Amino acid sequence: MAPTSRDIAREAGVSQSTVSRAMRGDARVTVETRHRVAEVADRLGYMPNRSAQSLKSRRSQTVGVVVADLRNPYFLEIVDGIQDELNLAGYRSFLVTDRLDFGRGTELVDVLGGSVDGVIFASSRSADEAPIRLASRGMPVVLINREIERQGFDRVLSDYGMGGILAARHLHELGHRRIGLITGPSSLAVFRDREREFRRVLAEFGTPFDERLRREGLYTHQVGSQWCADLMRRPDPPTAIFCADDVVAFGALDAALQLGLRVSDDLSLMGYDDIEMAAWEMFSLTTIRQPMGDMAREAARLVLQRIGGLAMDEEPQRRVYAASLVRRASTGPAKTEPLDDGST
């Protein structure tokens, strides 16, 4: 006989109503209890009848997740964190890749509008019109690392301004004065704010950023490789480069090796995000960490609360997570020219 919610309640030591709320992601149930209920349900082989649930609640038990590019491990880690939390609540994710040809977001609205109960935008590419139009239809919408001028959205953000500050301080303390920057699209607030604080701190240290050492592009390996090679072929190349994200930094690492440069000796490289690969010995990348798993799970909790009607009257939430420096082997002291003491 298939296990029931009563069986789960008995095994987990809670009431049936608590089991039901836990599987809906009800914020009144503690995370510990939700995990215990999920573990018991999994052990007993409990399979919720999603069709019956959908008919009863008139919900699809599905949350749309919009990401920019699944080739970038950053988005894979975001998706994993979201799915972990959704699974606890008995929800599935409907994954959509936000291609640049979605334009003003009409296709995104058409794809998601009638098929999901809420949407998490983990991409900064799509036009602001897409989340705005979905929200105007009453769809719960949560943004990760994205700002929209309209203030009616729950947002989960990394302190990307602090990320720029930490990068500037670290490289300056290592003695670097000619620092290159490979940034993401300046149309996106996440990159604008990071660059603004990066420049501000360098200026305060008395070494204003050299505009000739700035490059911009999408957050891809190819962009990092192309622009690092371009910067290092200059007659006055930088001694360090700060990259928009870790994948861009991996591209820059490849370019440096192809040019015969010793990373951290001839050129220091920094990334952003601290994806899992950044700690691999072959990369050992110094980077700025943002807690992507925590942010993703919080975004999922927020959208589930809106779907469940538990936060209908609450003001939009803005959760900001701290950034931190993770120092590894890809950065080192800047080389200095030997002083001429007159002995030669």
Tens-digit pLDDT profile for residues 163-201: 999 999 999 999 999 999 999 988 888 899 999 999 999
pLDDT band at 54 (very low <50, low <70, confident <90, very high): very low
User: What's the token pair of residue 91?
Assistant: 């929800």
Q: Is there a contact between 232 and 256 (Cβ–Cβ < 8 Å)?
A: yes
DSSP line for 180-198 = EEEE--TTSHHHHHHHHHH
Q: Is there a contact between 214 and 181 (Cβ–Cβ < 8 Å)?
A: yes
The one-letter code for the residue type at 314 is E
Tens-digit pLDDT profile for residues 269-281: 999 999 999 999 9
State the average pLDDT over residues 279-289.
97
More confident call, 1 vs 188: 188
Structure confidence at residue 206 (pLDDT): 96
Among left, alpha and beta (phi > 0; psi -120 to 50; other), residue 79 is: alpha
Structure confidence at residue 178 (pLDDT): 97
Q: How is domain 160-290 classified at the CATH fold level?
A: Rossmann fold (3.40.50)
State the average pLDDT over residues 34-62.
68
Matching CATH number, 1-48, of 3.90.79.10, 3.90.1150.10, 1.10.260.40, 3.30.750.210: 1.10.260.40
Q: Is there a contact between 278 and 287 (Cβ–Cβ < 8 Å)?
A: yes
Tens-digit pLDDT profile for residues 313-343: 678 999 999 999 999 999 999 986 443 444 4
Sign of CA dihedral 67, 72, 74, 80: positive
User: What's the token pair of residue 76?
Assistant: 């894979």
More confident call, 310 vs 317: 317
Checking if the pLDDT of 255 tops 80, the result is: yes
Structure confidence at residue 180 (pLDDT): 98
pLDDT band at 89 (very low <50, low <70, confident <90, very high): confident
Please state, in angstroms and rounded to a whole number, the distance separating the CA atoms of residues 137 and 133: 7
H helix intervals, the chain? 5-12, 16-24, 31-44, 50-57, 73-88, 106-112, 129-136, 160-173, 189-204, 221-232, 246-258, 292-307
Could you tell me the CA-to-CA distances from 228 to 5, 264, 325, 332 in Å, in that order? 57, 14, 22, 17
- Most confidently modeled range among 51-55, 123-127, 158-162: 158-162
Q: Where are the domains of the chain?
A: 1-48, 160-290
* Predicted structure pTM score: 0.79
